[in-house]
Structures are given as structure tokens and as C-alpha cells.
Amino acid sequence: MDMPAPNSGIQARKPEIARRLRAVLPPDAVIEAQEELKAYECDALTAYRCPPLLAVLPETTEQVAQIMAICHDIGVPVVPRGAGTSLAGGALPTEDAVILGVARLRDVLEINTDDRYIRVQTGMTNLAVSAAVEDEGFFYAPDPSSQLACAIAGNIAMNSGGAHCLKYGVTTNNLLGVTMVMADGDIVEIGGAEMEAAGLDLLGLICGSEGQLGIVTEATLRILPKPEGARPVLLGFDSNEVAGACVADIIRSGLIPVAIEFMDRPIIRATEEFSGAGYPDCEALLIVEVEGSAQEIDDQLARIVEIAKRHDPVTIRESESAEESARIWLGRKSAFGAMGQRGDYICLDGTIPVGELPSVLTRIAELGAQYGHMVGNVFHAGDGNMHPLILYNANEPGQLESAEQLGAEILKLCVDAGGCLTGEHGVGVEKRELMTHQFAPVDLEAQMDVKDVFDPAWLLNPAKVFPLAVSASRRTAE
């Protein structure tokens, strides 16, 4: 993976840049020392690392505005960073960039349960937002698996989803308003606490823009009443095709499960060894979870089981207690850990039309064999968001490269099946060069035109999202 050469002129001005930033920030908010900057050299895509020029940790929107104004004035690239949990390298620095971390922007600004919203600073973690309204009987719906650590800023940047978005949608469906600092330091308010914002849907544009358009420092989020309860059923099948057909039938039935998770045989075996969740040894497993009152859950599960029975399942395990629910989820939740025990892995998140599941899984297995990598599949089947995990050995030369090549082939396969490169992790640097497989030049041009409007100098989160060759003339323009 290539990154553009750093601007040595900017690097040479590090002392001046640091001095100007220190003048507007609290004493400990500017990080300059090489050993301290190591903490910012990568995100959760740890294969790529690069120390930034500097890192800054502002505490207020006004400080963010001053940082942006200074960086804009000097022409310093800025890489926004939430909690650094991006799997796509969305917060990977360059050597000439200032990392702007929102970790100290952690306040709850307002809770309004009558109008059902919460306003927070975006350094708050996803789970802390739900925790802030829990006592009032509410929660914040998007639940990425990193929710304990990940920041709302990153959730907005990547339009994060989670296991429960089948019912509740992803971040863009739950974001009401933002305070955003523009590339030149202007502070703008977009949307508010109302259900709809005025004018062009800039909120929809900013959500998922991967830090390309501005720094979101405050967010107004929709909160929802917590369901009375939730329980899953575990369904085992002896082929992926049959499991896929069962998923389609459940979706068509009119029932709206909050989650439909799919695991294939390599994942089932790995998680069973790792966690002892009591999964049957079969080709495909589904976890279907429904919500509501006890009676409602019983009714819905009964219908799901009825649908499943038409597909000759090898296992039906309906949870009847919180303990059993936890056991059913145990394997799924430890899937990444289980694969991690077997080696290093790359986690992809291409999305495909639900009807293409069986054929895509077959083709992934073939590709895995061809490249000599084991691939396990665990994913949100209700919305076709795959998570192929490609195992490799980082200590063996060439393994990372071949795993990455296999990953690229799988993502192209997702696009060719009618899907997309990324369902919830984002493009970052990881999938940047694959964008030309999904988009025609004119499609990418339209997206880059949007960035031109928000960030004319292309200083925000450089060398992400758009293929380097495609964005070269804009990035290097004076």
C-alpha cells in the first residue's frame, strides 16, 4: 500500500507549527515527542504505521476551530482521529500531518427524553452514549462491535452499523444534527434536534465521509426506548444455500428480527474450539434474534422456527433464558478472537445482495483454496454485510501480501455480485485502490467534487478513500 511522499517543507516547519498550536491549546494538548507520537501511528489496521508530525487533543469546538485555522493557514494536512478503532486505516497518519484526536471531547451536552435525543461531544464512546440514557429507559441504536471503545466521531465518519441495524438502521438513520469545524476553521451547525434538517441533506453527506469534509465535534443523536427483552434462536443447516434461502424467507415473512447472523463451517469449528458455545458441527449456523415483550418474543420465535423447519434444519435451539441467549451469542461474539488464535487475519466487510449469499460463499472458498489461505465467514446475513476473515501468518514473508490479494479478489467478487466494497468499516486506505472497480471515473469525480467544496486544498485526511492516481492532481494542486 503506497502513501504519498510527505511534504518536506511542512515537516521542516514543525517547530513553528507546534508553537502556534501551543499558543491556542492547553499545555498538554500538543504532542510532539517521537515516543509519545507512536500511540498515533496506526489505528486498528495495524499492518500500516506511520508517525504523524504532531498530535493535538483539543477539549472544545473552539479549540478545534483554532487548530483548523492554523493548519489551513500553513497548509498542514490534518488527520482526524476518533478512538483509533478503524479497521480500514481511516486514521492512518502521514509524516507531514497533524493528528487531531477528539478523545478529550467527552461531555454529554444535553439529554431530552421527551423529544428523544441526546447531544454529545463526539469523543464519547458509542457505549457511553447508551449508558448516559440507560436509566431513563433509552439507548442509542447503532452498535458496532467495537462499541466499548469506538467514538461517536468515528461512527459518524464511517457511518457505523452493527448487528442490530436490520431493525434500527445505521448511523445516518440515527443522526439528527452536528456541529462541524470546516477545513478553514469555520464552525457550522447542520441539522439540530428536529427530525428533519432544512435544505440539502448535508448531514447525509457528512455521515460516512471518513473525515474528508470536516471535523464533527458535537452530535445530536436520536435515542430510542429500550425494548422489553430480546432472545435468539440458533438454527443449523447442512448447506450454505439452504441457510441463505431460510434468511430470505424470514425477511420476506414480515417479521423484523433485530439481527440475523450467519457463520460458516470454518468459523463454527474455530469458535467451538475456542469458546465451547455448544454449536453443532454443521455447514452453516444462523442466530436470529427478536425483541419485544415475553409473549411477543415467543410468537415471533415460533414463526421463525416454523419457517426454518421448511428448510430441514439440523439444529433448532430456541433460547428460553438469558443464560441460554448468552451461550448462543458466545460463539458469535468470540468469532474474531477464535480466528485470532489460529493466526493473524484480515477482516473484510463487503456487502452483497442477500440472494447471492450461497454463490458468493462458494466462490470465496474456491479463492481461499487457490491462494492457500483459510477463510471463515461470519456476517450480518439480514443485510448481506459479509465479514470474511482471511487467516495468514505475519511472520512468514509474502503471507500478508497474498492475503491482501485474496482480500481484493473477494471484494471485487462482492462488487461483481451486485454489492459493494464496504458495508460498515469504510474505505480508508485499505480499499482505496479498489474504488475504481466499483465506480466509473465520472462517479469518483462527482464525489471528489464534493470534497472540493468542503476542503478546497485537500488537507483533510489525505490519501484516503480515493485512489491515489485519481486524486493526485487535486492533492498536489497549489
Partner 1 sequence: MSISVAKETGAPQSEAELRDVIRAGGPFVIEGGGTRRIGLAQGEVLSTRALTGVSLYEPGALTLVVKAGTLLSEITALLASENQRLAFEVPDMRGLLGRDGESTIGGVVATNASGPRRVALGACRDFCLGVRYVDGRGQVVKNGGRVMKNVTGLDLVKLMAGSHGTLGVITEVSLKVQPLPETVVTLKVPQCEALDAVGIMSDILGQPFDLTGAAWSDTTVFLRLEGIETALKYRIGRIRARLGRDVAELWGAALSDPIWQALRDVEQFHDRAGDVWQLSVRPSDAAALVEAICPEDVIYDWGGNRLWLLTAEGTDVRAKMHRGHATLVRASDGTKARLGVFHPQSAAIERVSAGLRHKFDPEGKFNRGMMG
CA separation for the pair 185, 432 (Å, rounded): 27
Give me the least distance between CB of 444 and partner 1, in Å please. 7
CB of 300 to partner 1, least distance (A): 7
Determine the Cα–Cα distance for residues 371 and 366; give it in Å rounded to an integer.
9
Smallest separation, CB 184 to partner 1 (Å): 10
Phi-psi map region of 211: left, alpha, beta (phi>0 left; psi -120 to 50 alpha): left
Contact 40, 79 (CB under 8 A): no
Nearer to partner 1, 54 or 202 (CB): 202
> Who's near 411: CB < 8 A, 6+ residues apart?
348, 350, 421, 422, 431, 434, 437
In terms of CB distance, is 41 or 356 closer to partner 1?
356
The amino acid at 61: T
User: Can you tell me the distance from the alpha carbon of 97 to that of 306, in angstroms, rounded to the nearest whole number?
Assistant: 57
Quick one: 79 or 190, whose CB is closer to partner 1? 190
> Strand, coil or helix: what is 322?
helix
Q: Indicate the residue among 35 and 135 with the shorter CB distance to partner 1.
A: 135
Decide: 107 and 83 in contact? Cβ < 8 Å: no
Residue 15 or 199: the one with the smaller Cβ distance to partner 1 is 199
Q: Which of 437, 265, 262 is nearest to 365 (CA)?
A: 265
Q: Work out the end-to-end distance of the chain between its first and last CA atoms, rounded to an integer number of angstroms.
A: 25
The CB-of-66 to partner 1 minimum distance in angstroms stands at 17
Distance of CA 448 to the CA centre of its chain: 21
Q: Rounded to whole angstroms, how far apart are CA atoms 53 and 56?
A: 10
Considering the complex, state which of residue 27 and residue 254 has its C-beta at the smaller distance from partner 1: 254
Nearer to partner 1, 279 or 454 (CB): 454
* Nearest residue (CB) to partner 1, 219 versus 277: 219
Residue 399: CB minimum distance to partner 1, A: 27
Burial 377-389 (b: 16+ CB within 10 A, else e): bbbbbbbbbbbbb
Non-local (6+) Cβ contacts of 133 within 8 A are 111, 113, 118, 139, 140, 223
Q: CB of 53: closest distance to partner 1 in angstroms?
A: 26
Shortest Å, Cβ 335 to partner 1: 18
Q: At what angle do helices 335-342 and 322-333 cross, to 10 degrees?
A: 40
Question: Least distance in Å: CB of 345 to partner 1?
Answer: 21
Closest CB to partner 1 among 268 and 297?
Answer: 297
Shortest distance, position 131 Cβ to partner 1, whole Å: 18
